[in-house]
Chains A and B, each alone.
Chain A
Amino acid sequence: MNAHMNTQGRTWKLGENVDTDVLAPGRYMKFGIDEIARHCLEDLLPQFAATVKPGDVIVAGRNFGAGSSREQAPQALKHLGVAAVLAPSFAGLFYRNALNLGLPVLVCEDAPAIADNLPCAVDPESGAVRAGDMAYRCEPIPGFLLAMVRDGGLLPHLEKKLGKK
């Protein structure tokens, strides 16, 4: 399993119904993604944006990403280097947006049981997760979306498809 663990970081534990307003606060929406990402989650975890590192993994409760269609919510997490978000369920709009932008979002029943600040590695394609001394398994990304996710999201996927014509 370890051979496929292509991300390595720490876990950040969040609760249920984390909404898009705390992920991409409205007052910064007029700016570019650099500025929005700087304020990602600041009303919940004031230190998050300044201390999160590439490869880190969010473990959260159900219905992650509730609220708006603003794709700057998953884009901010990706911009900060978050390698994956694990949760028992995602808001449908957020889920589509995240995969379209190439942020792995993995349905994981056990995510709420994973502690904060553990060393963590995730293989988005197989759904294998290691956090601390424990191994977990997420549902794999649906097969019909895998080609797009492998291409890095919808824009590069379209680029490839249109380029072939």
Chain B
Amino acid sequence: MRPSTPQTLAQKIVARAAGREHVTPGEIVTCEVDLAMFHDSSGPRRLQPMLERLGAKVWDADKIVLITDHYLPANDDDSRRIIRIARDWAADNHIAKFYDGIGICHVVLPQKGHLKPGMFAVGGDSHSPTGGAFGAYMFGIGATEMLGVVVTGQIWLKVPHTLLMRWNNRLSAGVTAKDMMLHLCGKFGLDGGQYQVVEFTGGAVSALDMQERMTLTNMTAELGAQTGLIAPDATTAAFLAEAGAKDVNIEAWQGDAGAATLAAHEFDAAALSPQVSAPFSPANAAAVSDYNERIDIAYIGACTGAKLADLRAAARVLKGKRVASGVELLVGPASKQDQDEAQADGTLQILVDAGAKLLPTACGACAGYGEYRFGENTNVISSTARNFKGRMGAASSRVFLGSPYSVAAAAVTGRISDPRDLVGN
């Protein structure tokens, strides 16, 4: 490839991590990993027995971030054992970046200033593309592959193509990044991302705050991309400065004009209506007006749907209103920082006054690993990312996916409803 050939943002990051000037989509390269993040479920309880078998040590404790979120609160012996293994492992391996019980990994990681544009990072969780919102190349891997990274500091990669999603104009009030992603899942399917990179651009994306951008790249997992990317800008820089990230370079990590892409799609954000995905796939998306289902539980939770921006969206609908009789509204803020800020600005009080029950700041019912699971024949609307059969509860429970606005609107009316009719000022 000639040096003058324009490169996508993904190619530039991968080339840097592979120690190359240029890389070509489709070629296999070995990359040096800048950061490896994992949690209590995918991390120490799986890694430690393999490390012992190999008699190996971690390659660089300073590049590892461990966050407990899946088995908290630990309410049974198995969960307590898994959490104890994580704590012991962090101590034994001198992991300074260990965050225990302060929120969900994908949300805590940038809040603690560990991500920045141009980084090449892996996460032991499928929603690791969340980090792509910061212009970092971050993707999910399984525990055995994480062991390879933890021991060698390297991973192989097939250099990805980029699928460009340009969103023009602005989202209208009551429509969110979540609606954009459900729409894309419906249009392209769960393998629409072809395990390549989905890059988001356009005025509607630039206008989003960092947490909304995180929702975009988070759900490239549901699109079947390896990761999602958003080129960094002043919004990124401001967030990272507040989070304490050092040596942030915005200019260096932009795709070149004219770089070849696998596809380039254009959307009018102003024309997008709130989207809801019916059981049992995020790809079963349609406009909220197509639905009228009665619901039992409205759930605002997880890395996808319970960040501060999501809690505030729900509060705009719920302010001065009450949850419909017979409906349970559950809210599990994504991190302690989000919860504290929602407490400070009155958002949390609005939710509680409306009748919300607060859950711990952890993965909760989204992962379906612990005590929070939906019962037989329950109808649920959820701000989370996945509604596969049996994931969040009984196989007979039915989970509809929507934005925090749509979840809050359903909580108030008792049925799936258009939140734009209820959004206050």
Contact = CB atoms under 8 A, between A and B. Distances in A.
A153 B390 contact: no
Say what secondary structure dominates the interface of chain B: loop
A25 B145 CA distance: 21
Interface residues of B, number: 50
Nearest to A73: B142
Interface string B221-235: 100101000000000
Contacts of B147: 154-155, 158
A67 B148 CA distance: 22
* 3 cross-chain pairs, A with B, having the tightest CB-CB distances, nearest first: A92-B195, A71-B142, A26-B368
A66 B190 contact: yes
B148 A63 contact: no
Interface string B32-52: 000000000110001000100
Contacts of B156: 144
25 contacts: A17-B281, A19-B388, A21-B368, A21-B389, A25-B368, A29-B41, A63-B191, A66-B190, A68-B125, A69-B123, A71-B46, A71-B143, A71-B144, A93-B140, A93-B141, A93-B142, A96-B141, A97-B142, A100-B145, A101-B142, A142-B28, A154-B147, A155-B53, A158-B151, A159-B53
A22 B390 CA distance: 7
Interface of A: 17, 19, 21-22, 25-27, 29-31, 43-44, 62-63, 66-71, 89, 91-93, 95-97, 100-101, 142, 144, 153-155, 158-159, 162
B384 to A, nearest CB: 12
Contact of A30 (B144, B190, B369, B390): B369
Contacts of A92: 195, 224, 226
Interface in B261-283: 281, 283
Given A91-B195, A101-B144, A69 B50 contact: no
Contact of B389 (A22, A96, A101): A22
B398 interface: no
B391 interface: yes
